[in-house]
Amino acid sequence: MTSLLVVNLHGLINTPAEVRTTLKELGIGKRFAATVVVDDPTTMGALRLCKEYVAWSEVDAAFLESLLKARGRISNSKTLDEESLKSMGYKGYADLASKMVKNGSTLSSISGLKPYLGLSPPRGGFKRSSRRQFRQGGVLGENPSLPDIVRRMM
């Protein structure tokens, strides 16, 4: 099983009810919220339903480690640090990221961790249209260049 990084690029304003519900179930109800999910048929069906609002791509352990260091949170006021990782039973960021990718676990399945990562708008903006699918010259849908965009959003 592979892990997918999913980013909500549009928010919930003027979205159909079933899409809004699906985004909330994925844990990315806010604009520029990101999460890690498992690549299975159920999740892919949910992502295809929301493809006009989200972008997703496969994530590797090194990128996930840097993302957790930069944007991981325990609560709204406390960031994820080495002490809290050790209290959760992980040796460090690399250990958590490798276990998430290897076991196919999600952010919401890890107790004590916020189920989403809050990102900023990308520095330099989107180089492609944020209203079109990737194969049509945009950034939405299945997007292999999403990690580069997310690096500019951290």
pTM of the model: 0.93
Written out in words, the top-level CATH class of the domain with range 3-153 is alpha beta
Beta 54-58 vs 138-142: how paired, if at all?
parallel
Q: At CA 45, angle to CA 40 and CA 48, rounded to 5? A: 120
Tens digits of residue pLDDT in 80-107: 999 999 999 999 999 999 999 998 888 8
Q: How far is CA 21 from CA 6, 16, 59, 76, 88, in A?
A: 16, 9, 24, 23, 30
The pLDDT assigned to 35 comes to: 96
The pLDDT assigned to 84 comes to: 92
3-state secondary structure of 37: strand
Tens digits of residue pLDDT in 34-69: 999 999 999 999 999 999 999 999 999 999 999 999
pLDDT at position 72 over 90: yes
pLDDT at position 142 over 90: yes
